[in-house]
Amino acid sequence: MGDFRLTFDRAGGMGDRFEIAYGAYRMRQSQCFLKSEGKLRCTTCHDPHNIPRGETATARYNAVCRDCHPLPQIVSSGAHNAGANCISCHMPKRRTGDAVHVVMTDHLIQRRQPAGDLLAEKLEVRESPETAYRGEVVLYYPAKLAGTGESSLYLALAQILEWSNLKNGLPQLAGLLEKYRPQRADFYADLADGLTASGQLAKAIPYFEEAARRAPDSAIIVRKLGSAQMEAGQLARAEATLRRAIALAPEDAGAWGMLGQVLWRENGNAAAKTALGKAISFDPEFPQWHDSLGTLLLTEGDAAAAEKEFREAVRIQPGNAKLRSNLASLLASRNQIAEARYQFEQSVRLKPDFAEARLNYARMLGLIQETGEAEKQVQAAIAADPNMAGAHQLWGALLATRGDLEGAKSELQTAVRLQPDLWRAHFELGVVLGRVRDYAGAEEHLKLAAQGTDPDAKASAQQLLQKLGR
């Protein structure tokens, strides 16, 4: 296997971590395996073409154990009791850590059974950047590689493929690429992916370009280059690159979807809708294309068609908090309050720190006069993202409504500091300052709102300034 596949492990190993696909990994930790000098293999016990079940399986596996550990001798020596079921003690069934409703046989052959209830229920640990392994990875199989430049490249590449060790792996791989200049495009594309993941998009693009030069017929690499150009705001270049990717792979839904997003940003709505429609036709079960098309349709005022796309996105991926929040906001705008409430609740349940969803939920609750619940949601939004100006603006407005003018002033001042062009906050701050008799400050913020681009805030500010004779 080592001739065509390299396997890596966490530095220090996995400890007692037990997961579904860990049979071979755990067996290779066993003293039985280590002392067999490679003779103990999966096929020593398992015939993939003839898999026994039940008592037949138990008898088969116990017989394999007794090939090396004859029961009469070890019982007579006092080293073992008379029980004949080796695997129930030395290879017990355990609940897995990655899929907590699954029970598997632990292939780590141990002298004594681990303590505790191995079948006890476990709490699921959600995968996230906080729970993922972050640290060095080391070669696992084969145990050694030839001392070549290619071996060094693969070891450096392993550090970044799952973002495990970006801090050390990125400069290491970049230095090796400069030193050895390998022909394979994948090294450059993977480094670019790692740089993108670490927020270094400007550094990533030249490596994507180098990868595309080395593999000009790779639709995947060309599409990745186009995606990076789009994220960097290089829209004209991104459009050309993505059209090139589509020429290489006309049914590549990803390239069509990204092209649609680029065209939309370039104000080519009609062409964008066509491209997103193509993406959906080639991959109808990818929710993001439905969500993008729905958002585009909503900006054009076609709320009914947008709702259809948002619902389809949620159907495909009901566990996506953002998709549910988008549907909820649309439903709220269409006065479908009961279902909007349900979708908002699902969104924040799935992602409790989703500040945007909580803010939009608070806005809806405020509009239907559920002020207490609105306050809870907007406070949760601020706790999740203290730099969200809109949340401070809404919290300030709610505080002003309940008569807490000092609290309102503080929140609204924070809002305009975080986002100076938040004209609604300037207007509301002007009103609050007037109520606390800071007339100079009130006039300043009302004039800013009157000169802004928010039509409602502008009209309200101009009207109030006229009343004040300003």
Instruction: List pLDDT tens digits, range 403-416.
Output: 999 999 999 999 99
Alpha helix ranges (H) inside 249-388: 253-265, 269-282, 287-299, 303-316, 321-333, 337-350, 355-367, 371-384
87 within a domain of the structure (yes/no): yes
pTM: 0.83
Instruction: List pLDDT tens digits, range 30-60.
Output: 999 999 988 999 999 999 999 999 999 889 9
99 within a domain of the structure (yes/no): yes
113 within a domain of the structure (yes/no): no
Instruction: List pLDDT tens digits, range 351-375.
Output: 999 999 999 999 999 999 999 999 9
Instruction: From 57, 88, 105, give the residue that closes a domain.
Output: 105
348 within a domain of the structure (yes/no): no
Number of structural domains the chain divides into: 2
9 bridge partner residues:
138
Instruction: From 75, 105, 135, give the residue that closes a domain.
Output: 105
73 within a domain of the structure (yes/no): yes
Calculate mean pLDDT across residues 6-13: 91
DSSP run (H or E) holding 137? strand 137-141
Q: Which domain holds residue 468?
A: 387-470
pLDDT band at residue 303 under the 50/70/90 scheme: very high
pLDDT at 2: 58
Structure tokens at 86: 């080796």
Alpha-carbon span 359 to 320, nearest angstrom: 17
| Minimum mean pLDDT range among 79-88, 112-121, 418-427 | 79-88
Instruction: From 61, 90, 105, give the residue that closes a domain.
Output: 105
Longest dimension (CA), the chain: 107
- Provide the percentage of residues in the chain whose pLDDT is more than 70: 99
Alpha-carbon span 177 to 170, nearest angstrom: 11
410 within a domain of the structure (yes/no): yes
286 within a domain of the structure (yes/no): no
69 within a domain of the structure (yes/no): yes
CATH number at residue 402: 1.25.40.10
Calculate mean pLDDT across residues 172-180: 97
Q: Which residues of 409-446 are buried (b: 16+ CB within 10 A; e: fewer)?
A: bbbbbbbbebbeebbbbbbbbbbbbbeeebeebbbebb
Alpha-carbon span 428 to 54, nearest angstrom: 73
